[in-house]
Amino acid sequence: MEILQIPPLRSPIMIFSFGGWNDAGEAATGAVSHLLNSWEHALIGRFDPEEFYDFQVNRPMVFVDDSKIRQITWPTTEVFGILTPQFDFDLVVVKGLEPSMRWKRFTSDLLDLADDLEVSMILAMGSLLADTPHSRPISVSGSGSHPEIAKRLGVEVSRYEGPTGILGILQEAAERRGIDAISLWAAIPHYASAPPSPKATLALINALEDFLSISIPLGNLADESKMWESGIDEMAQEDSDLKEYIRQLESSKDETELPEATGESIAREFERYLRRRNIE
């Protein structure tokens, strides 16, 4: 990894997402991009693309700059530092594409940097396809892979078995190093998986706010979420089979989840309101 600078960070929390298998609808990378767009940030370092990426899978991109000169951007992963004096901690944000190879080396390099920065917690964000209606709140599940950490941090113990992505590898390796690690996953309607997914991105940002008890500027996310939902509504109106399928998903969601979650949802919304009022 090429290290460019080490900013003065206070008990930083590392937040990361990776494009690809872990990023349905690009909701998770959208959440990380939103964090970077919300605050000033400094580039700490980047991975050498030659070491970790298959360029036939993730091809370099050509663009023409303002001087009309052709430039090439290579697929990579970058690490940014964000100073947040309004919080009790700063942020380290990792954004990139899931590496194609040498995952053990990639994980070791990133966690070595986390150790050097004295990262206090690692928080992964992902998104997955699910049988869920777009017209209801996007559910976000928090989990830890170790029972003790899950209990202490107030999240569920992950029961997943099967193929995993780089998020799962990083989370398990962080825990072996003694770094607290959890993951937040947003469920994306599988029939509306084309990126971007602003409603799921907003759900991840809200879940991050709730977990860390902070307030994050939302920008245009709320308006973009409403436009996204309206667009899916219009699409469903033109397809009777899809409309009926969505109605069935809504009925199932309302019967199983919403009645139990109503009180908790109201409480979370009120807590977010109070945090935002305190920073205005």
Mean pLDDT computed over every residue of the chain = 90
Euclidean distance between CA atoms 191 and 127, whole angstroms: 14
Euclidean distance between CA atoms 280 and 278, whole angstroms: 6
Q: Is the pLDDT of residue 274 over 90?
A: no
Q: Is the pLDDT of residue 169 over 90?
A: yes
Q: Is the pLDDT of residue 151 over 80?
A: no
Which residue carries 């920073």 as its tokens?
A: 279
Whether 228 contacts 197, CB under 8 Å: yes
Calculate the alpha carbon distances from 106 to 46, 47, 61, 109, 170 in Å.
11, 8, 22, 5, 9
Beta bridge partners of 186: 127, 140
- pLDDT (tens digit per residue) in 195-215: 999 999 999 999 999 999 999
Q: What is the mean pLDDT of residues 206-226?
A: 94
> Could you give phi then psi for residue 67, rounded to 5 degrees?
-90, 10
The dihedral built from the CA positions of residue 159, 164, 168 and 172, taken in this order, carries a sign that is positive
Which residue carries 């992902």 as its tokens?
A: 126
pTM of the model: 0.88
The dihedral built from the CA positions of residue 118, 48, 103 and 22, taken in this order, carries a sign that is positive
Domains of the chain plus CATH, in order, are 2-279 (3.40.50.10900)
> What torsion do the CA atoms of 35, 38, 42, 44 make, to the nearest 10 degrees?
0
Do the strands 13-19 and 91-97 form a parallel or antiparallel pair, or are they unpaired? Answer: parallel
Q: Is the pLDDT of residue 248 over 80?
A: yes
Whether 278 contacts 215, CB under 8 Å: yes
Which of the residue ranges 93-97, 152-156, 260-264 has the most confident prediction, judged by mean pLDDT? 93-97
- pLDDT (tens digit per residue) in 67-85: 889 999 999 999 999 999 9
